[in-house]
Amino acid sequence: MLPLVRAHLPLLLVGGSFLLLSATHCMGTEDPPSDPSKDGGGGSKPTGDATAPQCSLDFECNALPPSTCASSSELAYFTNPRCVRSICEWTRETRSCPCFNGQCSITTTAGGTIGTGGAGGASSPADASNDHATIDPPEGGVCDVDADADGGDCPLPPSVCVDTSWLAYFVEPACSAGRCEWQVLYRKCITYCAGGKCMTNITL
């Protein structure tokens, strides 16, 4: 047995190292916590607790915890995913709004609508399907309804990663009732999504 191991030692070493790496990956990826609201606090601060998933790279934390209602008038949501000492951390932000079921309940002149993002933005992304997470469009801000019809007054927001696989990007800017709106489309990244981009493989 020993001569056999000695004869094939380099292959065994490379294979063993690869298996070790695989084992580390298997142990290092878990689902994000379902309710991180117990991190408490308000405003903007880093969060991460014992139930947070383990990680080794920032993009592994891109699956943000769901927003929650800190109170009936305050929404708590999470941004800035990062990996700190092998544990995922996010920044907990708050905003004042009538909050219900983890969402801001906004009433506009056009009628009631619910969304975490606020008044601006179009709803129902055209190509959203059930096999990936979706986002609400960001708050649009005020625009001039008399400007060009092509939405020139409403610059497109930067793309965002919905999770580690899906990129959300914005098209068809429009000024509707004095607020900017966009349509959200989704694209599955070939490799992974990080920093609002579909990443390519790095090759040093």
Partner 1 sequence: MPSPLHAAASPSVDPSLRHLAWARIALGVLFLVRTTPLCELLHFPFETSVWPLLGWPEEGWAGHGWLHLSGALAAGVCVVRTAAAACFLVGWRTRVAGLAAGAAGYVSMLQNPFGAAFTLHLLFQGAMLLAMTDAGCVLAWRPERPVAPRSSVLLVRCFLASIYFWAGIAKLRPDWLDGRTLALFQADGAFHGWASRAVLSTAMSRAGCATAVAIIELALPVLLLWPRAQRFGLMLAFGLHAAIELAARPDLLGWEMAALLLALWPARADEAVGIERRAYSHESDVSGHPMKP
Note whether 159 binds partner 1 by CB under 8 A: no
Q: From the CB of 187, what's the least distance to partner 1, in Å?
A: 7
Note whether 165 binds partner 1 by CB under 8 A: yes
Q: Which lies closer to partner 1 via its Cβ, residue 58 or residue 139?
A: 58
Q: From the CB of 29, what's the least distance to partner 1, in Å?
A: 5
Note whether 187 binds partner 1 by CB under 8 A: yes
Tokens at 194, concatenated? 């990080």
Residues 56-115 that bind partner 1 (CB under 8 A): 56-60, 82-86
In angstroms, the CA 82 to CA 59 distance is 7
Q: From the CB of 60, what's the least distance to partner 1, in Å?
A: 7
Q: From the CB of 134, what's the least distance to partner 1, in Å?
A: 15
Number of residues engaging partner 1 in binding (CB under 8 A): 44
Tokens at 108, concatenated? 């506009």
In angstroms, the CA 94 to CA 37 distance is 11
Binding site for partner 1 (CB under 8 A): 3-4, 7-8, 10-11, 14-15, 18, 21-22, 25-26, 28-29, 56-60, 82-86, 127, 164-165, 187-192, 194-195, 197-204
